[in-house]
Amino acid sequence: MTSDLAIDVHGLTKRFGTKVAVDHIDIAVPQGEVWGFLGPNGSGKTTTIRMLCGLLRANDGEGTVLGHDFRTESEAIKRQVGYMTQKFSFWEDLSIRENLEFVARLYGLPNVRQAVDQTLERLGLVKRQNQLAGALSGGWKQRLALAACMLHQPKMLLLDEPTAGVDPKARRDFWDEIHRLSAEGLTVLVSTHYMDEAERCDRIVYINLGHVMARGTVAEVIAQSGLVTFVLEGKGARALAAKLHGQPGVEFVAFFGAALHVSGKDKAALTRALAPYRDQPGLNIREAPPSLEDVFIQLQERGTGEYA
């Protein structure tokens, strides 16, 4: 493995019977970076993450995760990875401290009290350590789950839609914490459906039908799409969605608040499709840089997956 790569895997493949959930994916993640995995439900994101952290055996592929062969040394990888699932999975009738002490014992840590004290301090949970987990808000439950992932001082975090159902402030605080950990050298892989979270990642990978359809920085993914977007605002903008859908050059039409985004790769064809409405009173039509969400809508239009 190249010394600066936390993950260096080629041909990662998972089949369930005759169905291919992940189809020969290559992943090379530098140490200390935050990578976002995106795609529709059932696209293969979670399956990919579980194979990388040793929870699911791959059918094919080769390479290393944290310097260990990901197919034959999964136990060694698990000991160096913190995995945070979508669903809160801790004991609600135990306090924050009691939950962390239990998890520390599962890890077999030599000094449970010291490990828990350090983690409570690091994640800002000292004042709440005696509060029952069941009485916590979604944001504090999320922080408890992250603390449990950090107890054994992992080298990598794998986060499976960690902010689903959490309020915007708690999501922002969570991401501030993730970037602080990344700055300390921790590698983070996170699956998410939120575009603002994707934009916080060093690089993003869009997976659909088990294939990588786009990867790179946000700017690179937008540029690679070749997408052209026109924004329609003002009187009657939303009413034009049905008329524009399916017109030559119009690949998709999407609502963004009171505005309508009309996108495709053929600018001339888009311009012709919009021409009849340019003189409509009260309607403003302008070209705008495509957003990340525009790009992902385009990618998702190509199909939907069947596996998590």
What's the pLDDT score for residue 77? 93
CB 159 within 8 A of CB 84: yes
Quote the pLDDT of residue 307: 42
Between CA 35 and CA 217 the distance in angstroms is 9
Sheet with 60-65, side-by-side order of all strands: 19-30, 5-16, 60-65, 68-69
The CATH architecture of the domain made up of 228-289 is 2-Layer Sandwich (3.30)
CA-CA-CA-CA torsion for 76, 198, 201, 291, nearest 10 degrees? 150
pLDDT at 3: 58
What pLDDT is stored for residue 305 in this prediction?
Answer: 43
Task: Quote the pTM value.
Answer: 0.85
**What angle separates helix 292-300 from helix 218-225, to the nearest 10 degrees?**
50
- What phi and psi values does residue 230 have, to the nearest 5 degrees? -115, 140
Q: How far apart are CA 209 and CA 306, in angstroms?
A: 7
User: Which sequence spans correspond to the domains of the chain?
Assistant: 5-221, 228-289
Please state, in angstroms and as integers, the Cα–Cα distance from residue 176 to each residue in 12, 116, 145, 148, 161, following that order: 31, 21, 16, 18, 16
d(CA 35, CA 46): 14
Averaged pLDDT, groups of 10, the chain, 308 residues long: 80 94 94 92 86 90 94 92 85 95 93 94 91 90 91 91 78 88 92 86 92 93 93 92 92 90 94 94 94 87 52
pLDDT attached to residue 1: 40
Position 43 scores a pLDDT of 85
CB of 152 closer than 8 Å to CB of 2: no
Does 228-289 match 5-221 at the fold level? no
Please state which of the four CATH numbers 2.60.40.10, 3.40.50.300, 2.40.30.10, 3.30.300.30 is assigned to the domain occupying 5-221.
3.40.50.300
- Categorise residue 123: left if φ over 0, alpha if ψ from -120 to 50, beta otherwise: alpha
- Cα separation, 191 vs 158, in Å, equals 8
What is the predicted pLDDT for the residue at 174?
Answer: 85
